[in-house]
Structure 1
């Protein structure tokens, strides 16, 4: 009998899986030092007396349970009942309770993106550094709303084009001044002077001591994590994705300094040696990880409770197949190595998922061919390319990102006591995961117990009618519970 084919081989067999979600246990096993936990940010503006009743829905609660039929009650910022709601009939009659009739549609937790660039402009990234700070702030605020419009209520910042953009937008969202997701802010990505990807949006540092200082500077700005740009990116044509620019001493110093200051690190790490350094020295979030080798895979499996991998798989797919309309032909992408990287990354990511290494969706949206608003494409790629079931992809995008926030005890699942972040979907994403890319099918979006999006049809009961009197009473109830924000705030 011939020896089994290694997962690194193009001939390695791929076996589709049908069964209960496999990634719940791996996500639950993730554990970082509590000293590294970001602040427990709160979003202002939800009246404590507000109540929202959502009836007749199929519930995907992201706990691993199969979907079930039920109702949901939200009081103030949190879910108070999920599945069965006591005194439901009395609540339906109460004019101060806002009622949404699901009529059999699907309710899921708010989605999460684990590699977010709010300040990317969807165009010429190289000139972002030249954009005026006022215009750039408006652009970044618009991106934040776009995430929420897309059903995303949690985003983990992967780098900001200017030092304080992420921090300012995060604080404005939390103050209730602008719509956006729960956000953990980053600063400029840090790179060596011979290893940057885009100079205008980079914080430069060479050697362990200068890197420590840049991390201290970032923390002083109020960031929640710092990104290291450790490997190349083939599209630059001068920084190959298989090249690592950090030394072991530099990476070790960065981890030591960040942990002293109570924050975690994330890294642009495509190259084999970049991934190895992240694992050996403790960089918690590995972006991409395309060229991991067998030794690195074994080490990552051994430390799988300490790391997550966020591949940003849509960047590879779109750069290879969809960038031609923007002047980067498929032939050029292939010559640069993107076909080989995509195929290599897919094999590695399938193996990570098989071994119980946590792989989370999200990444690199905001380029010309990965535009804002298309974030749920990652979930499609997870199912079609990486071997996730649709249920596993949703769990990764909800409970998985909540775990990355270190707040999975109150976010990422439809459970009593959790923050009320949810999306009512007109369809079944377990049957068709691509439905989450259709904003027209995201009928109700709620964050922190506040309705961000809803239409008149949500008031329609099973018979398809709603009285004018009921509509007026609901409107009056909402007006009475509105919180008026002050004109001036000190963030």
Structure 2
């Protein structure tokens, strides 16, 4: 159901600006939102070639969602290194499936947070952008960069300023958008732990310097206070996890809130603590490893960040066996139930802030005239029940760049004469 223009009429518009939803019509021409009219205003004129989708007065039209902590190449593996276990050919096919899955779930923006193999993110991003495969707008990452002893995920190892410099240059040469540093440990390794920091000031500084010189942004796996402070001090753009903070770290984050983003990866902690028994991590084992303590600290840390206006975004480290692809919208529920975000604040963190973390806030993340037409037509009101976004059946239509990835179901559509415009109107039942 792709055409040069589409009119969504009689929808509740949740525009991603923070304004309360309002009834109205939205006209898409090409890949942009051309016109928005509130109910009662002058009708939007359109021609016979325009697709017309009626929201019935109770469906919500909203911007597409953003996952700020995306491992699009992770293969639902059972441990941290199982993500590399596939041969490259099968791994590419699986990653293509994952790209489609993100879009199937209403995620039109994804921030790469490390690739399982060096070029997979880049190849998938370029294939999406060329139209060869369906998928979200993707900021592509390379493999994580770790120092000796800190390789908590599949990573490239480098030690000292000059090795870090050379490795960052090599990763940037691949054409990545983000460079990932593995700065703190991970309890599940049993060796490199979350309270340990494995980068020096000089190593972080040179990584940011080299990445910035080549137009890439730096993100970091940073769970403890010291690693978080290093991130802020040296200009790391995106901090993953940030579970343990003190007042100094909070003050630094608040002072840098216009340039720093935090994506806690709550799903990993929650599922590891309480829902990973089938993979050998019982709740008792998770507690012994320190994950229950980290989860409790992460919840309190995110609450404090939110109160200070620090930009906290959803993205749950999906792609492990107990955080499988396709369950991304669980993070939105966690933001409401655990972090004290209102449903509106949660939607904004996944849409408006998504446009910001993608680096294009003037064109992404909001339903406004002139913005890219990345839109979801939702059966219901996510402000009343944020969990409806977890059910793909509630996503009646998914549009990216002005084209339907998922059109309103034809089996539930009827065609009727619309006297106002004197043409056939397609109405989603």
Q: TM-score, normalised by structure 1?
A: 0.82
Q: Residue 430 in 1 paired to residue 383 in 2? A: yes
2:49 aligned partner: 96
Q: Residue 298 in 1 paired to residue 251 in 2? A: yes
Residue 120 (structure 1) aligned to one of 57, 68, 74: 74
8 A contact 2:37–2:43 mirrored in 1: no
Residue 381 (structure 1) aligned to one of 319, 331, 334: 334
SS in 1 for 2:211: helix
Q: Residue 340 in 1 paired to residue 309 in 2? A: no
CA distance in 2, matches of 1:313, 1:117: 14
RMSD: 2.0
SS in 1 for 2:195: strand
CA distance in 1, matches of 2:415, 2:277: 47
Q: Residue 169 in 1 paired to residue 111 in 2? A: no
Farther off after superposition, 327-336 or 298-307: 298-307
TM-superposed CA distance for 1:88, in Å, is 4.2
TM-superposed CA distance for 1:273, in Å, is 1.0
CA distance in 2, matches of 1:237, 1:54: 53
8 A contact 1:101–1:461 mirrored in 2: no
Residue 142 (structure 1) aligned to one of 89, 97, 103: 97
1:66 aligned partner: 20
TM-superposed CA distance for 1:127, in Å, is 3.0
8 A contact 1:100–1:459 mirrored in 2: no
2:108 aligned partner: 153
2:360 aligned partner: 407
Task: Name the count of aligned residue pairs.
Answer: 418
CA distance in 2, matches of 1:78, 1:443: 20
CA distance in 2, matches of 1:167, 1:230: 23
Structure 1 residues 122 and 415 mapped into 2: Cα distance closer, same or farther (>3 Å)? Answer: same
Runs of 4+ in 1 over 6 A off after TM superposition: none
Q: TM-score, normalised by structure 2?
A: 0.94
**Deviation string for 1:351-389 (max 9, x for gaps)?**
000011110111310000111011011111111111110
CA distance in 1, matches of 2:5, 2:413: 15
- For residues 244-283 of structure 1, the aligned pairs below 5 Å read 244-283=197-236
TM-superposed CA distance for 1:294, in Å, is 1.4
8 A contact 1:56–1:71 mirrored in 2: yes
SS in 1 for 2:218: strand
- For residues 236-247 of structure 1, the aligned pairs below 5 Å read 236-247=189-200
Residue 81 (structure 1) aligned to one of 27, 35, 38: 35
Structure 1 residues 52 and 204 mapped into 2: Cα distance closer, same or farther (>3 Å)? Answer: same
TM-superposed CA distance for 1:303, in Å, is 1.6
8 A contact 1:160–1:187 mirrored in 2: yes
**Deviation string for 1:425-448 (max 9, x for gaps)?**
111100100110011111100000
Residue 267 (structure 2) aligned to one of 314, 317, 334: 314
SS in 2 for 1:240: coil
CA distance in 2, matches of 1:245, 1:384: 33
CA distance in 1, matches of 2:203, 2:343: 39
SS in 1 for 2:131: coil
TM-superposed CA distance for 1:326, in Å, is 2.2
TM-superposed CA distance for 1:128, in Å, is 2.9
2:139 aligned partner: 184
Unaligned runs of 5+ in 1: 1-45, 464-468, 475-491
CA distance in 2, matches of 1:458, 1:117: 35
TM-superposed CA distance for 1:84, in Å, is 4.0
Structure 1 residues 458 and 96 mapped into 2: Cα distance closer, same or farther (>3 Å)? Answer: farther
**Deviation string for 1:401-457 (max 9, x for gaps)?**
110111010111000100000101111100100110011111100000000112126
TM-superposed CA distance for 1:118, in Å, is 0.5
**Deviation string for 1:333-367 (max 9, x for gaps)?**
00001111011111111000001111011131000
Farther off after superposition, 117-126 or 441-450: 117-126
CA distance in 1, matches of 2:162, 2:36: 51
8 A contact 1:163–1:187 mirrored in 2: yes
8 A contact 2:37–2:44 mirrored in 1: no
